Amino acid sequence: MTQTAAEADIPTAVIATGGTIAMLADPASGVRRPTLSGATLAAAIRGLEVPLAHFQPYAIGSEDATFAHWLQLAREIAAVADAHAGVVVMHGTDTMEEAAYFMAECLPDAPISFCGAMRPPGTLGYDGGRNLLDAITVARSPLAPRLGTVVVMNHEVLPAWDVIKSDSVALSSFSTRHGTRIATVHDRQLRPLSLPLRFNWLGELPAVLPRADAVAYVRLTGSPGPRRFADAIAGAEGVVVEALGAGSVPAAVRAQLLGAAAQVPVVLSGRALSGPLQDEESYPHAWDDLLGGGVILEKRLDGPRARIRLSLCLALGREYRPLEADLI
Ligand code: ASP
């Protein structure tokens, strides 16, 4: 019988990148900065007796994370994943879903568990220790290689393609757009709840850095300003538009969108919190002009994730294909 990681005593890689989970108050100014190391945090978790190897490529608030940080993180994970029993990434929560999605796209076969904290160290209800413990439990579980990249927060295991920070302060902030909870984790017990999906991930690390300015990202509203919309997408190498409802694009900006689609990839995703685009049954032919003009319908991803996928495609010189899934 093959040994599990736990039996073989292989360490789990814990990569700290900053975020509230690590934010201690500076004694002089009182300002919180991400100075708590993964090793110090792990040492404070009672009963955590698994071998860990610690890495810290950078320490930032995740609002300052860039494609350069995420590419550096992806390269670090690629370098350590094979020799460790799973990879845990401690990350700020503000852009955790985007960082996790970036890793899932580039490294779909790596078992990566993201965690963070909604409350900083030393405050009542600090959730960093238990989230780290839960993420380590997931990373070391025999199921981890089948899950790819997940976010482990507040005892829930949520998939990178769907997870969202849905509340600015609640400990239960992390949920999903489509209700896709993979498992719960309590007291070092992982309880699977749903079957993993297999996606058409890009599965490649770009050799060149994706450019943050390459893709224009616009969220549509009622009464959009046609000139502002045109300004927002002018000169972009690709465009992601979050449409209304099931993919409605107001007449006021339709011509501009089609004009852009004649030049560069234009991806339409949805602004609604969940549900698919293109309800052909109810609105027959409503998307014919857009599809005929080359607009790509991204039915599964929200705008920020579609922006990451398109930015990676541009950096890799690949055509954008919508994210699709099969049951494993
Ligand atoms: N601003 C912090 C960050 O994203 C918030 C957090 O980690 O909860 O780094």
What pLDDT was estimated at residue 23? 97
Residue 86: CB within 6 Å of ligand 1? Answer: no
pLDDT for residue 288 is more than 90 = yes
Q: CA 137: distance to chain centroid?
A: 20
Check pLDDT > 80 for residue 279. no
Q: Is 93 in the pocket of ligand 1 (CB under 6 A)?
A: yes
Q: Which residues contact 184 (CB under 8 A, 6 or more apart)?
A: 155, 156, 157, 190, 191, 193
For position 275, what pLDDT does the model report? 84
**Ligand 1 atom having least distance to the Cα of 18:** 9
Res 87: pLDDT: 98
- Ligand 1, atom 8, lies closest to the CA of 93
Spatial separation of the C-alpha atoms in residues 51 and 99, rounded to whole Å: 25
Is residue 37 exposed (0-12), middle (13-18) or buried (19+ Cβ within 10 Å)?
A: middle
What integer pLDDT is reported at residue 4 of this predicted model? 63
Sole residue written with tokens 């609002």: 63
Chain-wide mean pLDDT for the chain? 95
20 CB within 6 A, ligand 1: yes
pLDDT tens per residue, range 31-56: 999 999 999 999 999 888 899 999 99
The pLDDT confidence band at residue 7, using thresholds 50, 70 and 90, is: low
CA of 212 to the centre of ligand 1 (A): 20
Half-sphere exposure of 292 (CA within 13 A, CB side): 7
CA-derived radius of gyration, the chain: 21
The length of the chain in residues reads: 328
Classify the phi-psi angles of 320: left when phi > 0, otherwise alpha if psi is within -120 to 50, otherwise beta. Answer: beta
217: its two tokens: 């990202």
Instruction: Count, in order, helices (H) and strands (E) of the chain.
Output: 10, 18
pLDDT digits (tens, 9 = 90+) for 195-238: 888 999 999 999 999 999 999 999 999 999 999 999 999 999 99
**Ligand 1 in contact with 92 (CB < 6 A)?**
yes
Reported as type and span, the H/E element at residue 311 is helix 303-316
Q: What is the DSSP annotation of 94-136?
A: TTHHHHHHHHHHH-TTS-EEEE--SS-TTSTT--HHHHHHHHH
CATH no., domain 5-197? 3.40.50.1170
Distance 230 CA to ligand 1 centre (A): 33
The phi-psi region of residue 120 (left if phi > 0; otherwise alpha if psi is between -120 and 50; otherwise beta) is beta
Whether the domain at 5-197 and the domain at 215-327 fall into the same CATH topology: yes
pLDDT at residue 2 tops 80: no
Is the distance from the beta carbon of residue 19 to the nearest atom of ligand 1 less than 6 Å?
Answer: yes
Q: Which residues contact 28 (CB under 8 A, 6 or more apart)?
A: none
**Neighbour tally for 323: CB within 10 Å:** 20
> What is the third-level CATH fold of 215-327?
Rossmann fold (3.40.50)
Q: Where are the domains of the chain?
A: 5-197, 215-327
Q: Is 58 near ligand 1, meaning CB less than 6 Å away?
A: no
Cα 97 versus chain centre, distance? 3
Q: Report the separation in Å between the CA atom of 111 and the middle of ligand 1, taken as the mean of its atom positions.
A: 23
pLDDT band (50, 70, 90) for residue 276: confident
Mean pLDDT of 265-287: 90
Q: Quick one: average pLDDT of 284-305?
A: 95
Confidence of residue 1 (pLDDT cuts 50, 70, 90): very low
What is the CA(247)–ligand 1 centre distance, in A? 31
- Residue 12: closest CA among 152, 119, 155, 127: 152
- Identify the DSSP state of 4: P
